Amino acid sequence: MPANIVVPEVGESIVDARIAKWLRKEGERVSAGDPLVELETDKIDLEVGAPAAGVLSRIDRKDGEDVKVGEVLGVIDEAAQSSAAVAPPAAAPAEPPASAEAKTTAKSRATPAAKKAAEQNDVDISRVQGTGDAGRVMRRDVERAAESSSAPAAAPKPAEARPALPEPARTRPAPPVPERPVTAAERTEDRVRMSKRRATIAKRLVEAQSTAAMLSTFNEVDMAAVMALRERHKQSFKDRHGVGLGIASFFVKAAIGALRAFPRLNAEVQGDEMVLKHYFDIGVAVGAAEGLVVPVIRNADRLGFAEIEKQIRDFATRAADGTLSLADLKGGTFTITNGGVFGSLLSTPILNPPQVGILGLHKIQDRPVAVNGQVQLRPMMYMALTYDHRIVDGAEAVRFLVKIKELVEDPGALLLE
């Protein structure tokens, strides 16, 4: 009896996907649950397993095609024989080599992101030691293996030093060598189709600019107090909680304090109404291979510094190996993005709809500033707040950013918040 392979329902906000790669070929015998095809969505990548044991008798949709939830991708024929079984008998070993079994096993226990990274870095995934659940190979494992394999060899032993000969005097410089003209064949281009996620990111960014009245305001914050506090407590904090004390948790806490004081920045626009939210789900932008993702810290106002740091670290790890779930990315009332980790000194972040506010953090840099009438070098950071001017007034946005500045420059005040 044939069984259809269909695009599964992933979540309410995902209605279509793109076929990234078929993992099996027509005519292959599969077991129930075996991964058959990788799908890309605008938020997560996933594998579709075989609905029943049998032969993959038909593939209806090819690699790179866009498909919708519920559409048929192919058919499993439970009664058919595999193409290998009906082929004429040949003198072949009764069992496949052990190395081939190992490669198949390793590939099946690797995440889609790990397989893609292995192809890009020319890494034999069967030789990669997995660190995920049940030994599953993650993207970070492949990248670590690629780095170790590309480590530079030991430098050759330098030749025995010899006394330098005096350089002959030159009466005039040598004439310049004429530059060879660049040929048309050397001016090459690559045409690469956007991934489903990258295409969706592009679409949402354009929509954000065309639907919201975006405006940005800036301020700077003295990070000396936060950095001194971290230095005093970093070792005891890590010993107690098993995670380092970063700056992100301070800004999450400060943002919550400012959102309480200016609640319209924790809202969204629906028609001619403002929806004011009395809970604080803070999105934290994380860079991933396929583009920026924004996992959400739920009820962040009820979490301590250690819990916030652990969630951010977990998000970064799972974004790198492609294991973030749809639930991690849904919702959010306000977003924080930190371009400073890439060296950005100043930028204007774009809103994450339907949110009406996003806080941009930047590189901490020693700059001369006036302190009590004297010029001192202080670790300063520029902050940017982009807001939807439809419901947030300019004065309100400026005071919101000043509130964050005050809380970060006086970390003790965060405990009172």
Q: Which residues are catalytic?
A: 389, 393
Q: Give the three-class secondary structure for 82.
A: coil
Q: Give the three-class secondary structure for 24.
A: coil
Do 243 and 306 contact (CB within 8 A), yes or no?
A: yes
Tokens coding 152: 């530079």
Q: Give the three-class secondary structure for 402.
A: helix
Q: Are β-strands 334-338 and 365-371 bridged in parallel, bridged antiparallel, or unpaired?
A: unpaired
Tokens coding 291: 């583009």
Residue 297: Cβ within 10 Å count? 23
Whether the ω angle into residue 354 lies within 30 degrees of 0, i.e. cis, is: yes
Give the Cα separation of 133 and 109 in Å (integer). Answer: 10
Give the Cα separation of 263 and 277 in Å (integer). Answer: 8
What type of residue sits at position 36?
Answer: L
- Local structure of residue 55 (DSSP, 8 states): E
What type of residue sits at position 118?
Answer: A
